[in-house]
Every structure is written in structure tokens, then in C-alpha cells.
Structure 1
């Protein structure tokens, strides 16, 4: 059957550069307030937490804050242990030993005594500590900050307790939930990326929680990066529909649904292609079982932007993500997103206006939504254009200001930066 006419010329909607204060003026406004960020993962590691924290550090520095980082040693540190400082991602850092995280061998638990962190924090004035991960390093940091009477807040970035089903360790679920509740309730405030996460944590007895969402760089991710040469490498014509997935190739990402959608689409449109960007423990198995799928591996920077913009439909089948930065990146790149009505999709997609969403677990509906976009190319084009328009309103600057306001617990942070948001604490009742 003939492939439907797909979008061949996309009306580029330019990104408006985010306005930031000159560094000297921003420093005066914030009086060089000192924020320490603690995480078991950070750039150049590739995952949602590392990406979010990199944007956070850059944004805080641009707005005049002093930023310090506490993290485990990474592979990149063997050659350049100061790379995070050299790249301008933070003012200084404390590196601690690490051990591989089971199932995520590229990531490491940080191993540090709270006494060591306490001595390091005591050497300099610190206004607040943000603990992004709940491993041994995060726990040591919470204890150290509390011992010094420094305000410490936590972030809910990863649904590890929901992963137990996928890794056949369901017996750990109850223990992980209890630990999650205990850990977060040791901190003054838990920042959550979506209202759905707030409801989930409230049901677990965790609080108070506050909404801190995410942004997207619409200059980096832009439909103008669409590359006919890359599509030619994929063996597709200008009108051939290309499905894209970006993320970890792992059990908790619900990849079988993406592959099922692709297989069903191929019956009607045999020249359609699926491109998987990312790596993970399932890659070898998937490569064997799906030889016609394009496995692009990990892509970064401009190369990643080209992959986004050169596809047509973005698949986000996850049921476990707390947010999903890739949804915003796909929207900014001018793709139609098909996702469950959860996390970032619930926050930012409006059904049949800038994407297609399905009730959680409706696999058949997900498959049919992908087919519908190929049957109705005009709908697909309209959704793509509106997704780009909406993404242009989702810059990082406002989210950075909100983070500082919440972390520092200061109404002055709002007036200094003109943030008029009043929805600070998330109320679920």
C-alpha cells in the first residue's frame, strides 16, 4: 500500500533566546547564595537525572548563584577529574568513591561518610543542599546537612520502587517504598516533577512536596535540524513515516509496546522505519530479534537534535518515568508525541491538539494512535506544529528561578526574579 503523504516541509518556528541577567548583576541580586547539589549521577552520563541536573547547574550559575557539586567518581574523571569545573558546570566539587549500581553498571552509588561531608560543608557558608538521589551518598549528605543545621531538600527523580516488577525482585518493593518514605521525610521539602508524582508520594505518606517541573532548550532542539541526508542513511524517502524512541533500552521503559506499534504499522506501511536512540541491557536481544530496526546508540548534542528533527512520530510508552525530558525535546523538535496520559505527557500534551495521549495501560489504543497519525497526515502535521509552539513557552529560566525559590525557602527569591508563581506546595486533597 502506498505510504501516506507525510510532512515534507515544516514551517520553522524560531526559538526566542531566553533572557538572562548579566552575571555580575545576577550575582548582586542573589548575593552569591551558595547551593550544594548532591547526586549519584551527573553529566556526561546519559540519563534524565544527569540531564536535568546539568541544566539546573548551568541555570543557577547564569542567575548568579554559587554552585557546588558532590558526586561519585566517573570514568571521565580518570583523565580529567576537574572536568565539571572546567566545563563551567559548577564552581567546585567533592568527588567520592563509587560502586556500580546493579542493572546500571555505567552508574555508581556514591560511598562517603557523613562526617567527611560535614567537614567539607562546614568549610564554607552554604545556604541550602539539594539531594537528587537517595543512595548512600544522598543519605550521608542529608545527615551532614542536618547536623550543621543547613536546609536540605530532596528530589523525586526516579521510580526505583516501581522497577522491582521489571527486574524480578518484587520482594523488595515494600522495603523500597518504606525507605523512600523515610528518606524524603528526613528533608524539609521534596521537589516533584509532576502533579502525578505528588499524588503518588502523598499516598506513600511523603510530604510536604512542591512542584518543580522541567524545561527544554528550543534553540538546541529545533525542526530546522531535519536532515534529508540522515533520512537517506535510514533508507527512507521524504514521505516515509519514521517512528523514534529516545531513552534507555531497558525493561522498565516498556519497549515491547513501541516494537508492537512498529510491527503493526509495517503491515500497512511496509516502508515505515523505527529508530531507537540509546543503549542499555536489552540492546543485544532487540538487535537479534528486530533486524530491520535502526539502533543508533547514544547520541548527544547536535547529533541528537538531528535524530529528533529527522523523525516524524515520537513514541513514549513508559509507565514508570517520573517525568520524561524526551517528551519536551520531541515537542521542541516538532514531532507528534504518542504517550500514556502520565508524567510529562499529562503536564504538557493536550489530546488531539499537540499530541496523542492514551489512558495508562491501553496498549491497543497506543498502537491505533500511531496508525492514525500515518492515515491522517494533515492531523500529524497540525499536531507537530502546535507541539513546537507550545514547547517555545517551556524554557528553563523560569524553572530555575522556581527551584531557587523552593530550595532557599525565601519569598525574596520570587520578588528578585519576578516569578509570579503561587503554586508552591502541591496539595493533593
Structure 2
């Protein structure tokens, strides 16, 4: 047995409590899938006894670090993202990160987002020979066609590939995305799925009073869409699918939960629908549970946290066979699946929610059962296992001194 492996075995008990630096440009209370997922991961790591340093942009002038046992925050300078002024892009922080990680060295650095702050974190990790994991959350290159800059797709794809290939490992939420990225030249890709809080999201939160506010009677079919209201989310397809439902069930209601740059235009064109705005926590959970089915018209997601939240709330989901839907939905069992990007099939399938009432009720019963295994504790433990493997492999490649995991405190 070589000395590096022997040293790692000697250190193995200490690996139960890792020191993890997480670098992200979005974090709660910001409302989006990446922020929510990162917040859950941080909470889970702390609950399992690991130390976490969170590096993120300052969200507002009054924003201050919130230290706690085993947790500290390093706030960087951030600038608003065009069209998403409530979100910040972190500026590069190479000098500050180098100082911080030279004094208090993490066992592993996890970079959540691919912005300037994330790029600088990867560069510092490589310079200090600290293992670094990146995360692929957003198909930015797929968004280009929605914003009139299709010519950017190829250079943006190359930019993302270069960024993620600089890390020891790139994490993705589905096996299908792993295969797609590997085919596109990504070298080291592993799957860690996302979880869902089945205590928060539950059919038990259904509210007759809330439905009454939407103009829905007990027998009214309410179709929900929960998402950021932005062009890449393909809301017009969701509206067209609902129109097919309403031709069969004229009293049906469409509920849209969320906010974003497309809300004003959508609401002006479709004032007949219920625009609930941004919701969170138990209020959001009640909005899910008080609907009857869920429409997911997006074709640009890497996962789609709202799918698991809808299923946990007892809502059958209509979606393209893509991302989380392809792995979690069984057609006719807990939702409806149609071929990827086939909008005609999507609209036709939506009408089944209105026509096949008994099947809809059966799918509602099975929806929640299909995600009960996706608790966050299991997801976080899977992540820790991957982190430990990356630390060990990195140490084997860089045997000696700090690269073996000794800390410079």
C-alpha cells in the first residue's frame, strides 16, 4: 500500500467532519431553484456536523454575515444582473479568497454558479491545490434563442465546458444531463439529484378558502404553473395548453405563481388568469396543494425543482420527457409525459386532465408516493460521499503536505 493511501486511512476519521467552502452567486432569501437547493445543502451539511464557509455576493447594502456554530459567511461585491435586478452577479475576488483559504484551508471547495465570482474561486482553488467541485444548474446556452442572441450559443457552450473542466468534478442533477455533457466534451461528471421537503409540500395544505379567492368551486379544475416568469420558461405554451383544457371544462382556472421580467406582459395579455405573484414557505405549499394538476411547459431546465414540489403536493405533472420529468414521471401513473419539445403533443395531453377525471384522481393519489424517497438528508449524504471521493482522489494525485488534507489553521 502506498504512503498516500496509508496517510488517507490515518486521516479517515477526520473526514467525518469536513470543512467545505461553498461559492454561489445566489442564496436565500432570493427565490429561485439554485438558491433554494444551495440553502438546503448548507443546512444539511451543518446538521451532519460539517463546517461550512459560504461565499456569496452582498444582496443589499444592509446585508451582513450571519455567523453560527460551524458556519461563516464571506460577502463579496455584487452587481445587479440585467433584467433580474433582485439577483446579483459576484465580481471576481481572487485576492480575498486566496488570503482566506491560505489561512483557513477548506477540505473541498464547491462552486455553485459560473459567474465571475465562481471563476475566480476555481482559479484560486487550482492555485492552492485544493480540490474543487463545480455544479451545472442552468442551460444558459439554451436561453440564447429566447433573448435574440442565438449566435452566442456555441461560444457560450465552449465557455461553460472550459469552466467545468477546470474542476475535479462537475455535479449534475440527472443521468440524462450527465450523458449530454459527456457527449459535449465534459470530462468528469457525476450525478447528485435534488431533494424535496415532503413535510412542507403536502396535500394536507389544501385550502378551500384559497381556492375560493381564485374563483374556484370544490369541483373546479385548477391548473397550476409555478416558476420565474421569464421568456425561457415557455409560458405561452402553458397558456395554450390550458385553453385546450378550458374548451372541455369552461370553468377551469389557471394559476400562475411567481414573478419575473415577463409578468407584466403576460398579465396584460391574459387578465382572466390568476397571477398570485411570488410565494414562499407554507404559503407557497398551500398554493400547490390547492390546485389539481401542474403544467410544466419549459424545455430548458436542468432539473426543475417545481416538479418534485408539485408531486409531493399531490399534483400530477404534465411535462416534456426531459430533465427531472424524464426520471420521475411515469406516463399515466403520476403525470403525463410527451416527447421533448413537441408542443402539439403537450397541448393534446393537457386535455386529458379535463377529459379523464377518474385517471386524474388516481394520478393525484400516486403523485406524492413517487417522491417520498427524495428527502434532503439522503441527498446531502450522497453529496458528502462524492466530496470525500474527490478529496481522496485529489490527494492521491498531489501527495505530500497540504494536498493530503492537512489544515493550515
Query: What TM-score, normalized by structure 2, do the two folds share?
Result: 0.90
Residues 331 and 391 in structure 1, CA contact (< 8 A), matched pair in contact too = yes
1:72 to 57, 73, 78: 57
What are the within-5 Å matches in structure 2 for residues 351-366 of structure 1?
351-366=331-346
Q: Tell me what 1:52 maps to.
A: 37
Residues 15 and 388 in structure 2, CA contact (< 8 A), matched pair in contact too = no
Residues 127 and 408 in structure 1, CA contact (< 8 A), matched pair in contact too = no
Residues 245 and 353 in structure 2, CA contact (< 8 A), matched pair in contact too = no
Question: How far off its partner does 1:268 sit?
Answer: 2.2
Residues 249 and 279 in structure 1, CA contact (< 8 A), matched pair in contact too = yes
Supply the distance in 2 between the matched residues of 1:102 and 1:359 (Cα, whole angstroms).
Answer: 33
Question: How far off its partner does 1:264 sit?
Answer: 2.0
1:274 to 254, 272, 275: 254
Residues 92 and 119 in structure 2, CA contact (< 8 A), matched pair in contact too = no
Alignment partner of 1:102 is 2:76: no
1:173 to 147, 153, 160: 153
Aligned to 1:44, the other structure's residue is in SS state: coil
Unmatched tracts of structure 1, length 5 or more:
1-27, 413-429
Alignment partner of 1:285 is 2:268: no
Residues 316 and 367 in structure 2, CA contact (< 8 A), matched pair in contact too = yes
Query: What TM-score, normalized by structure 1, do the two folds share?
Result: 0.86
Unmatched tracts of structure 2, length 5 or more:
1-12, 393-409
Alignment partner of 1:36 is 2:21: yes
Aligned to 2:88, the other structure's residue is in SS state: strand
Question: How far off its partner does 1:58 sit?
Answer: 0.6
Residues 30 and 64 in structure 1, CA contact (< 8 A), matched pair in contact too = no
* CA deviation vs aligned residue, 1:285-335 (integer Å, no higher than 9, x gap): 111110111111100000000000000010111100000010000000000
Residues 189 and 209 in structure 1, CA contact (< 8 A), matched pair in contact too = yes
Question: How far off its partner does 1:204 sit?
Answer: 1.7
Aligned to 2:145, the other structure's residue is in SS state: coil
Aligned to 1:281, the other structure's residue is in SS state: coil
Q: Tell me what 1:200 maps to.
A: 180
Question: How far off its partner does 1:411 sit?
Answer: 9.7
Cα RMSD of the aligned pairs, angstroms, is 1.6
* CA deviation vs aligned residue, 1:22-61 (integer Å, no higher than 9, x gap): xxxxxx8754310110011111111110010011001111
Supply the distance in 2 between the matched residues of 1:178 and 1:379 (Cα, whole angstroms).
Answer: 45
Supply the distance in 1 between the matched residues of 2:391 and 2:127 (Cα, whole angstroms).
Answer: 25
Q: Tell me what 1:234 maps to.
A: 214
Q: Tell me what 2:274 maps to.
A: 294
* CA deviation vs aligned residue, 1:67-95 (integer Å, no higher than 9, x gap): 110011103xx334134x46x8x710110
Supply the distance in 2 between the matched residues of 1:198 and 1:258 (Cα, whole angstroms).
Answer: 28
4+ residue runs over 4 A deviation: 28-31
Supply the distance in 1 between the matched residues of 2:297 and 2:252 (Cα, whole angstroms).
Answer: 19
Q: Tell me what 1:3 maps to.
A: none
Supply the distance in 1 between the matched residues of 2:106 and 2:341 (Cα, whole angstroms).
Answer: 45
Aligned to 1:130, the other structure's residue is in SS state: strand
Supply the distance in 2 between the matched residues of 1:361 and 1:73 (Cα, whole angstroms).
Answer: 38
1:81 to 45, 49, 64: 64
Aligned to 1:244, the other structure's residue is in SS state: strand
Aligned to 1:409, the other structure's residue is in SS state: helix
1:393 to 373, 380, 385: 373
Aligned to 1:388, the other structure's residue is in SS state: helix
Aligned to 1:199, the other structure's residue is in SS state: helix
2:382 to 394, 398, 402: 402
Is the deviation greater in 403-412 or in 153-162?
Answer: 403-412
Residues 405 and 411 in structure 1, CA contact (< 8 A), matched pair in contact too = no
* Count of residue pairs the alignment pairs up: 380
1:217 to 180, 183, 197: 197
